[in-house]
Structures are given as C-alpha cells and as structure tokens.
Amino acid sequence: MGVTVTISREYGAAALSVAHAVQARTGFRLVQDQIAAVVAARLQISEESVVEHLESPPPLGERILSGLLGGAPEIGAGPHPSAVDLGRSVRAEIESIIRGVADEGDAITVGWIANMILGRRPDVLRVFLHAPMEWRIARIMESFNLDATQARREVERVDADRRTFAKTEYRLAYGDPHHYDLVLDTSTFGVEGTAAIIADAVKTMREG
C-alpha cells in the first residue's frame, strides 16, 4: 500500500528538517515547493501569491465585499479577480494536487492543511509537530539571524495566521490532536528521533 505523510506544524518546530529526514528513511518523495510552482503556473500568478493565499485568509474587507456583491456579479466586475476569488481558485488547485499526490502514494507533504484535504484516508498518516515556544524561538533566531524579540514576534505572527486560516477556511482548530494520527514534540525527540517515529508508523501502516 502506498502511504502519504502529511506534516502540519507550529512555526519553528523543524518540520522541513524532519520531512527531509523522513524522506531519507523511507525513500518517499517530498512534495513541497513543487505544489506552489504548479498552482502558480496553472493560474498564471506568482508562487509568492500562492503561498500568501494559503497561509493567510483574505482581509476582512475583501470577504465582506465579496459577500455583498455575491448577488450582483455585474457590480465591480473586471478582468482582475478579487482576493477572495483568487484565494478560492488557489485552494481548489491545491486540493486537487494534494489528492493527486495521495492517489500516487509514497509522498510527504508539509503544510497546506493537507490533513484536512485528505481526511481519514487509510493510506494517509497525519502528523502534527510542536515544541515549546522558547525552543522554536531559538531555532528561528539561528535560522534567520534574528534577535529574541524579533523571533518571538515572527513565531507568534505565523502561528496566528495559520490558526486563523485553518479556522476560517476549514473549520479546523489548528493543532487539535483529534485531526492527526501522530502529535510529536520535536524538542523531545530531536529531528532524527521524530523522523524515526514517523518512519516506523509508515512501516506499521504498510504491514497492516
């Protein structure tokens, strides 16, 4: 049986490092930057716009305006889609790609709310990585050469954006263990230890 591992994470919990380590242990392909590139090509927008519309919800004003104009498409019509319409198009493309990846199997995705897109498929292992705030701040400081205040602000901002997006678009309480098969503290097991647990879980799924 092919298996797809979806990795969701708190910011700074070393998810990408863990994903690479899982890839080394399983031989699975890591589907990461390719997703944004494919969506950008299909919609003829930049990869930055893809990430922006997936990590954060549209501004409140855009959502309200879209609702008000929903019954009168001729008002405000023009060649450029609203942030709401573009966001919907991006999400639709992402969901299509993620499902295609899972259908092929033996893959790892990081982010994209893939655990909710795929749901409780028997061939999907849904992982959430977390770690204490101070541990994550230290990683962000080292990775981006920030001071502690800047790193904390960035961690809090990204975490808040992800929680808001998950709740707004997927009615998901981000990090709620009920939505995952494995919830792991990266600071407890380390990158390699966390990857080993995930790889063992994949092996168990295959054997089952």
CATH of the domain at 36: 3.40.50.300
pLDDT at 39: 87
pLDDT tens column, 101-138? 999 999 999 988 999 999 999 999 999 999 999 999 99
The set of long-range contacts for 183-187, using a CB threshold of 8 Å and a minimum separation of 24, is: 183/127, 183/128, 183/130, 184/127, 184/128, 184/129, 184/130, 185/129, 185/130, 185/131, 185/132, 186/13, 186/14, 186/15, 186/18, 186/129, 186/130, 186/131, 186/135, 187/131, 187/132, 187/135
- Give the pLDDT score at 74: 37
Distances (CA, A) of 204 to 80, 197, 198: 49, 11, 10
Task: Say what the pLDDT of residue 48 is.
Answer: 78
**Strands lying side by side in the sheet with 124-130:** 29-31, 107-110, 4-9, 124-130, 182-185
Answer yes or no: pTM beyond 0.85: no
The more confidently predicted of residues 11 and 81 is 11
Q: How do 4-9 and 182-185 pair as beta strands?
A: unpaired
Q: Domain total for the chain?
A: 1
Please give the residue range of the domain that contains residue 71: 4-207
Q: What is the pLDDT of residues 161-175, one digit of tens each?
A: 889 888 888 888 999
